[in-house]
Amino acid sequence: MIDVLEALLLGVVEGLTEFIPVSSTGHLLLLGHAIGFDSAGHAFEVMVQLGAVLAVASLYAARLWGVVQAAPHDPSARRFLASVLVAFLPAVFIGVMAHDIIKSVLFETPRLIALMLILGGAVLIFVDRLALVPRYEDATRLPLGVALKIGVIQCIAMIPGVSRSGATIVGALALGVSKRAAAEFSFFLSMPTMLGAFAYDLMKNRDVLDAAQVETIVIGFIAAFISGLCVVRWLLGYVSRHGYAIFGWWRIVVGIIALVALSI
């Protein structure tokens, strides 16, 4: 019963934090460390993220299906699909090459996670306050070069605590993408990125996953899906009006609390 409640709690936290730039993985690892949650190979922390990603996919399903149908005869649809693919490729290369180091070293260093939360929060606040003039207002019409740069920047988030959405959003803002479009492109890029991470982690951990592990993952997955739906519906409107500073301050507060707790 305790494992079920822990999985439910962690799944809700995953869904609430996956798409806001606060590092869902960092939150899961720190919370798991605090409550004594343990998953073989940290498979839960990676695989449960697909639940939140499917929440985005369900909300954008009609729009994405329209793009796929239009791709054979619409150059703009093909360019959008190509931009997501180009942005995704750096994560494939770095993720496969560094997978073992990330899971066995970085995931096991809570102080590093807390420090990355604080540093990333400061960067997010700084970038949000810059008087940047957006050149790209539509997430589906980014030049391939811009998309590739965003994809490279996303790889920094393989350090837990950095935040995948935070890295892509900050990178996009710095490259001239509007706040709303930066969040939307981060949504689109999350789909292949997290699906790839899920599949690769499943392959790597297939020998250590037992029935109990699978049960906790399914519970967390469902909780992440439901809470992710709520966040995605709210986030675009919020950042269009207020920006990202509040998430930077949240990161700093959580990081400081984590450092204090780890020092006790």
Determine the Cα–Cα distance for residues 155 and 27; give it in Å rounded to an integer. 18
> Is pLDDT above 60 for 1?
no
Per-residue pLDDT reduced to its tens digit, 80-103? 999 999 999 999 999 888 877 887
CA distances from 89 to 85, 190, 207 (A): 6, 12, 27
pLDDT at 104: 74
CA distances from 226 to 14, 31, 119 (A): 10, 20, 30
Residues in the chain: 264
pLDDT at 192: 92
pLDDT at 240: 83
Contacts of 133 (CB under 8 A, 6+ apart): 176
Q: How high does pLDDT run on average in the chain? A: 89
H/E/C letters for each residue in 224-249? HHHHHHHHHHHHHHHHHHHCCHHHHH
pTM for the whole structure? 0.86
What is the pLDDT confidence band of residue 40, given thresholds at 50, 70 and 90? low
CB atoms within 10 A of CB 142: 28
Q: Which residues face 177 on adjacent strands?
A: 136
Query: Is the alpha carbon torsion for 160, 179, 124, 263 positive or negative?
Result: negative
Per-residue pLDDT reduced to its tens digit, 111-142? 999 999 999 999 999 998 888 889 999 999 99
Listed range (23-37, 61-75, 133-147, 194-208) with the worst mean pLDDT: 194-208
What is the pLDDT confidence band of residue 148, given thresholds at 50, 70 and 90? very high
Determine the Cα–Cα distance for residues 28 and 193; give it in Å rounded to an integer. 18
Determine the Cα–Cα distance for residues 184 and 60; give it in Å rounded to an integer. 10
pLDDT at 71: 92
CB atoms within 10 A of CB 199: 12
Query: How much is the average pLDDT of 252-264?
Result: 93
Per-residue pLDDT reduced to its tens digit, 207-235? 767 777 788 888 999 999 999 988 888 88
Determine the Cα–Cα distance for residues 12 and 15; give it in Å rounded to an integer. 5
